[in-house]
Structure 1
Amino acid sequence: MADKREQEGRRASPEGARGELPIEARRARRSAAHASQTYRAFIKHLCERGGMSPAVAEQAAVSVLCAVEQRINSEETEDLEAQLPGKLTELLHRCERHEDELPGGFGREELLKRVGEDLALNPDAVAPVVRAVLNAVRDQISEGEAEDVMDQLPEDLKELWRHPS
């Protein structure tokens, strides 16, 4: 007598009695789902902090973090990215604008200019967006990592990086 799967037009598989995926595939699927969920939660948090749409929040996060990463050394960049949602770090690795630049000694005005150009924002609108992104990032990382990043920033950028009191 045919089993229930055969009656439903499905073949019996070596994957298990219930037709489950192999454990490696299930782990990969869970990991991808968790990464996606973590990223969505970050974007939602940024939308709430900055009063922006998800599409704008994603662009803002990539632009701001790309600029900040150009200001800190590569070891600190790796440490920072290790605490960010995986999907966000994937987007940062695709940031082509500053790909060939060495980390530079620019300050607040240059960072705001870069982000403003990336997002096509007027100068008055840039600082609140940058602050929203940086605060959302700080909410995502350990206090120790936040201090490590801040130690590499000039005073005028530290003001943007600090959590509001």
Structure 2
Amino acid sequence: MKFPEFISKVAERASLPREEADAITRATLRTLGERITGGEARDLAAQLPRELQDSLTSAPEKAEQFDLDEFVRRVAERAQVAPDDARHGVSAVFQTVEEAVSFGEFDDVMAQLPDEFGALAKPIILP
């Protein structure tokens, strides 16, 4: 998947402007890079658009341990968006990553995260 298509899908899924979707995407990948091992971050980055790879691979080699609420808090702070926008954006990024990479790779990433992260890869149905 090419970069413009990736950002467009995130924007559409999260109902956000492209600029905000871009910021949330980069913040999500940077935070994900902190939460998973360096090797896994590099494996995932290799299957994403070149423009997004640095966001994942700039983190330390060792995975940090933090929960979903902290993940969303970091994304909101980095992207300078409201926590609810960050949560919807993180979900949209996870869904788009799942679509953009091989099933095995996405499964490897999810295996390093607590179960609470699994719901992020599922579409959010708004009333």
TM range (shorter): 0.7 to 0.9
- Alignment CA distance shift 1:123-1:38 (3 Å): closer
Shift of 1:40: 1.0
Measured against aligned partners, the alpha-carbon deviations of 1:78-100 in whole angstroms (never above 9, x if no partner) come to 1100110011114x1686xxx56
Paired position in structure 1 for 2:79 = 119
**Contact kept? 2:25, 2:89, Cα under 8 Å:** no
- Which letter does structure 2 place at the counterpart of 1:139? E
- Aligned-pair identity (%): 31
Q: Report the TM-score when normalising by structure 1.
A: 0.67
- Greater relative contact order (Cα < 8 A, sep 6+): 2
**Structure with the higher helix share, 1 or 2:** 2
- Alignment CA distance shift 1:101-1:115 (3 Å): farther
Q: How many residues align?
A: 124
CA separation in 2, counterparts of 1:100 and 1:76? 12
Q: Report the TM-score when normalising by structure 2.
A: 0.85
Paired position in structure 2 for 1:47 = 11
- The answer for unaligned runs of 5 or more in structure 2 is none
Larger Rg: 1
Paired position in structure 2 for 1:163 = 122
For residue 43 of structure 2, the aligned residue among 62, 79, 100 is 79
- Which letter does structure 1 place at the counterpart of 2:50? G
For residue 128 of structure 1, the aligned residue among 76, 85, 88 is 88
Counting only pairs closer than 5 Å after superposition, residues 53-68 of structure 1 correspond to structure 2 as 53-68=17-32
Paired position in structure 2 for 1:24 = none
| Root mean square deviation of aligned Cα | 2.2
- The answer for unaligned runs of 5 or more in structure 1 is 1-36
CA separation in 2, counterparts of 1:126 and 1:106? 16
Measured against aligned partners, the alpha-carbon deviations of 1:50-87 in whole angstroms (never above 9, x if no partner) come to 11222111111110011111111111111100110011
CA separation in 1, counterparts of 2:109 and 2:56? 18
CA separation in 2, counterparts of 1:94 and 1:106? 18
CA separation in 1, counterparts of 2:35 and 2:109? 10
